[in-house]
Structure 1
Amino acid sequence: MSGTYLSIYNWFLSNAQSLVLMAIAVIGVYLGFKREFSKLIGFLVIALIAVGLVFNAAGVKDVLLNLFNKIIGA
């Protein structure tokens, strides 16, 4: 990986939580103003999963690793 891409990658990793929360807020407000409540409910479910993945990455990694080991049998 070249230096530019590596610095962008490191910047994204350090700001991932803020970026995810901002994106959730912007999309939620947009769907609320458009009064598309069925899409808003679906989006909130997806947002809840995304927040869990971003804010608890180590826990998710452990769960998925255990699941992988049970399936593969390693």
Structure 2
Amino acid sequence: MTTNTPQWFTSSYSSNGGQCVEVAANLAGSHGVVPVRDSKSPDGPTLTLSVAAFTALIEFTKRAGA
């Protein structure tokens, strides 16, 4: 099933007092993008990353220990 509606989720590792981002990974396969937003501002701006850019961001944060 393909959907155009982002299905937002926050990582289970995000228990750090609200400093979280949400991602909508359900659009990666159908649209080739991963939208990202601030969990404290769900109606605010959304950063839309390509799958490659999102993967690079995750790898960077793993290496940086963030």
Structure with bigger gyration radius: 1
Q: Which of the two has greater strand per residue?
A: 2
RCO greater where, 1 or 2, for CA within 8 Å and sep 6 or more?
1
Q: Which of the two has greater helix per residue?
A: 1
TM-score of the superposed pair, with normalisation by structure 1: 0.30
TM-score of the superposed pair, with normalisation by structure 2: 0.32
